[in-house]
């Protein structure tokens, strides 16, 4: 599952340090050079790019290991086939005791 993290008009940078949307660094966004079984990952870079109409950046906020927009770049809105709406979310990072 990927989230849309940047839309038309947002300023996007993808650097070796991570992904910035409107100059805010996103969590878990530092691109990996290799995947979990040591295969080289593609490296997509852009600096201060203003997303055009119908362009979005997709990523996850749950894992630094996700294969997402950091590697394959922008997605056109016509490529999006559906949308999910979570009905129950557990925040694993939230202390529950």
| Domains defined for the chain, CATH in brackets | 3-79 (2.10.109.10)
**Rounded mean pLDDT, 78-92:** 80
Compute the distance between CA of residue 47 and CA of residue 90 in angstroms, rounded to an integer.
34
Q: What is the pTM of this model?
A: 0.80
In the predicted model, what is the mean pLDDT of the chain?
89
| CA 53 to chain CA mean position, Å | 18
Predicted pLDDT of residue 90: 73
Compute the distance between CA of residue 49 and CA of residue 59 in angstroms, rounded to an integer.
17
Compute the distance between CA of residue 17 and CA of residue 31 in angstroms, rounded to an integer.
7
Query: How many degrees, rounded to 5, is the angle at CA 20 between CA 59 and CA 50?
Result: 95
What is the residue whose two structure tokens read 């999910």? 84
Per the model's pLDDT, the better-predicted residue between 64 and 62 turns out to be 64
pLDDT band at 97 (very low <50, low <70, confident <90, very high): very low
């Amino acid at each position: 599952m990927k989230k849309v993290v940047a839309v038309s008009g947002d300023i996007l940078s993808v650097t070796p340090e991570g992904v910035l949307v409107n100059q805010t660094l996103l969590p878990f966004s530092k691109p990996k050079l290799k995947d979990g079984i040591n295969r080289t990952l593609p490296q997509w870079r852009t600096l201060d790019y203003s997303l055009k109409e119908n362009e979005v950046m997709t990523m996850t906020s749950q894992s630094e290991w996700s294969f997402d927009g950091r590697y394959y770049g922008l997605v056109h809105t016509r490529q999006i086939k559906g949308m999910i709406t979570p009905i129950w979310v557990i925040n694993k990072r939230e202390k529950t005791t």
